[in-house]
Amino acid sequence: MAKGFNKIPAMGGQGGMMQQIQKLQKQMEEAQAKLAEETVSATAGGGAIKVVMTGDQKCKSVEISPEFLKDADAEMLQDMVLSAVNMALDQSRELQQKMMGPLAGGLPF
């Protein structure tokens, strides 16, 4: 049999990569936990509607000004709530990208 063909390949490179992946996984878990605690808010209708959302896209609250309800019709209210929710989602996604984006750049591929 030829020399060197039955040897097990060295695991040094793969072991180091596994450690990097485990470290990165821990960092991602920590960032996700932080995102769950961070909040963003968006308003519509000049502040008549306010939506608060977490960094992991969970809606925490929707506030509607009682003054706004006196003159608002249902369709306008729905449009404003929808607008505020979508703005809060966009802000939450931006926050998520800001916190998670650098971690994705550290993947050893």
95 within some domain: no
The whole-model pTM stands at 0.70
Q: Which amino acid is at 95?
A: L
What is the predicted pLDDT for the residue at 109? 45
pLDDT digits (tens, 9 = 90+) for 73-102: 889 999 999 999 999 999 999 998 888 877
More confident residue, 16 or 89: 89
27 within some domain: no
Q: Can you give the CATH number for the domain in which 69 is found? A: 3.30.1310.10
Q: Is 101 exposed, middle or buried (0-12, 13-18, 19+ CB in 10 A)?
A: exposed
Residue 12 to residue 105: CA distance in whole angstroms: 23
pLDDT digits (tens, 9 = 90+) for 25-73: 888 888 888 888 999 999 999 999 999 999 989 999 999 999 888 887 8
What is the predicted pLDDT for the residue at 25? 85
33 within some domain: no
> What is the number of domains present in the chain?
1
14 within some domain: no
| Domain membership of residue 71 as a residue range | 38-88
102 within some domain: no
61 within some domain: yes
47 within some domain: yes
Q: Range with the lowest mean pLDDT among 20-24, 41-45, 49-53, 104-108?
A: 104-108
